[in-house]
């Protein structure tokens, strides 16, 4: 397991990224409260990762979603879609006001992303375990067919999702074909819908598992944006195998009454709880 290199972001860049993450969290809370259904804990825990991706790491053009030189970002655990939608809206793919249509009939923002519904979505996700296979396919084309060494594929996965065998089939495939332009990010928050991952189906030595499958493994604090950015840069320097970043996160991060509580995996705040959550997140912003 490789340790990330020292910090490369300057303080101003880091402050901006942390503020993006805070705003994404506020949007997650408000859109879920308006929808009255969805998943809270996972999206809130992923906000720092998505801020790092959409505002620093990804090569993309929100004004030109089909730009042929773009990187590919795939959300495998599709039920965490609110964090994806919020990051996309804040980076300019569609108006922020549209976040209020989450899960409504006819909305482009359904409970699980649908690729053709919204420009900038690269995959349809919902059935867990499929994202890494999709990402391996993209990476194989880039490396072995198109011979494009300048395009990267990112796949965000949940740790509970790793119970799916399809993930490990894709892991073997990516290792065999040395898909070094494929970077997996595992949201290691230790919860799934029925409780702690280690009670439901223990993952044990997760870093060791990925390493045994032939992957370059890094492990970081998933709320340390500087470490996340640096880990991706380390992964990009690995030329002979795919990389996976195990990002340790707190489910419900930023909302004190949700943090670490698996029961918030699949429920949303009511109006009063949402107001409390936004106040807590606003206080974090004011303290900077």
Each residue of 262-272: pLDDT tens digit? Answer: 999 999 999 99
Q: Tokens in use for 159?
A: 């740790």
Give the HSE-up count for residue 200: Cα atoms under 13 Å, Cβ half-sphere.
15
- Is residue 63 assigned to a domain? yes
Q: Any idea which of 10-14, 48-52, 81-85 has the lowest mean pLDDT?
A: 10-14
User: What's the pLDDT at 3?
Assistant: 42
User: What's the pLDDT at 288?
Assistant: 65
- Is residue 54 assigned to a domain? yes
Could you tell me the residue range of the domain that residue 115 belongs to?
A: 11-287
CATH of the domain at 210: 3.40.50.970
Burial of 270 (0-12, 13-18, 19+ CB in 10 A): exposed
Mean pLDDT across 88-117: 97
Give the number of domains in the chain: 1
User: What's the pLDDT at 284?
Assistant: 80
Whether 244 has a pLDDT exceeding 80, the answer reads yes
What is the per-residue pLDDT across 165-193, written as a single tens digit (0 to 9) for each? 999 999 999 999 999 999 999 999 999 98
- Is residue 223 assigned to a domain? yes
Whether 1 has a pLDDT exceeding 50, the answer reads no
Whether 141 has a pLDDT exceeding 50, the answer reads yes
Whether 150 has a pLDDT exceeding 70, the answer reads yes
User: What's the pLDDT at 8?
Assistant: 72
Mean pLDDT across 7-13: 82
- Is residue 130 assigned to a domain? yes
For residues 186 and 273, give the distance between their C-alpha atoms in angstroms, rounded to a whole number: 28
User: What's the pLDDT at 287?
Assistant: 67
When the pLDDT of each residue in the chain is averaged and rounded to a whole number, the result is 95
Mean pLDDT across 241-252: 98
User: What's the pLDDT at 4?
Assistant: 43
Are 112 and 83 a contacting pair, CB within 8 Å? Answer: no
User: What's the pLDDT at 127?
Assistant: 87
> What share of the chain has pLDDT > 90, as a percent?
93
φ, ψ (nearest 5 deg) of residue 12:
-65, -45
Instruction: Determine what percent of the chain falls in helix, strand and coil, rounding each to the nearest 5.
Output: 50, 10, 40
Whether 126 has a pLDDT exceeding 90, the answer reads no
Query: Residue 9: which pLDDT band, with cuts at 50, 70 and 90?
Result: confident
User: What's the pLDDT at 2?
Assistant: 42
Q: Tokens in use for 117?
A: 């519904």
Burial of 231 (0-12, 13-18, 19+ CB in 10 A): buried
Q: Tokens in use for 194?
A: 């029925």
Query: Residue 274: which pLDDT band, with cuts at 50, 70 and 90?
Result: very high
- Is residue 27 assigned to a domain? yes
Mean pLDDT across 120-131: 94
- Is residue 208 assigned to a domain? yes
- Is residue 4 assigned to a domain? no
For residues 284 and 2, give the distance between their C-alpha atoms in angstroms, rounded to a whole number: 32
- Is residue 275 assigned to a domain? yes
Are 121 and 131 a contacting pair, CB within 8 Å? Answer: no
């Amino acid at each position: 397991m490789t340790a990330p290199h020292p910090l490369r972001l300057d303080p101003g860049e880091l402050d901006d990224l942390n503020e993006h993450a805070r705003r994404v969290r506020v949007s997650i809370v408000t859109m879920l409260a308006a929808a009255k259904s969805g998943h809270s804990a996972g999206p809130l825990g992923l906000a720092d990762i998505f801020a790092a991706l959409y505002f620093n790491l990804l090569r993309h053009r929100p004004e030109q979603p089909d730009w042929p030189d773009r990187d590919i970002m795939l959300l495998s655990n599709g039920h965490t879609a609110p964090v994806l939608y919020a990051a996309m809206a804040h980076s300019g793919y569609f108006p922020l006001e549209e976040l209020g249509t989450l899960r409504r009939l006819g909305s482009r923002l359904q409970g699980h992303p649908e690729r053709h519904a919204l420009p900038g979505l690269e995959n349809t996700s919902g059935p867990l375990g499929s994202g890494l296979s999709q990402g391996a396919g993209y990476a194989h084309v880039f490396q072995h067919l198109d011979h494009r060494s300048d395009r990267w594929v990112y796949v965000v996965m949940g740790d509970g999702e790793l119970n799916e065998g399809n993930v490990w089939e894709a892991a073997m495939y990516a290792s065999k074909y040395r898909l070094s332009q494929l970077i997996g990010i595992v949201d290691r928050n230790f919860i799934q819908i029925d409780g702690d991952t280690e009670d439901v189906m223990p993952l044990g030595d997760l870093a060791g598992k990925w390493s045994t499958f032939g992957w370059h493994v890094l492990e970081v604090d998933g709320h340390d944006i500087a470490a996340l950015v640096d880990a991706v840069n380390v992964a990009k320097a690995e030329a002979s195998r795919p990389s996976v970043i195990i990002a340790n996160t707190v489910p419900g991060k930023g909302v004190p009454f949700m943090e670490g509580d698996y029961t918030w995996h699949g429920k949303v705040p009511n109006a009063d709880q949402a107001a409390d959550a936004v106040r807590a997140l606003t206080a974090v912003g004011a303290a900077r």
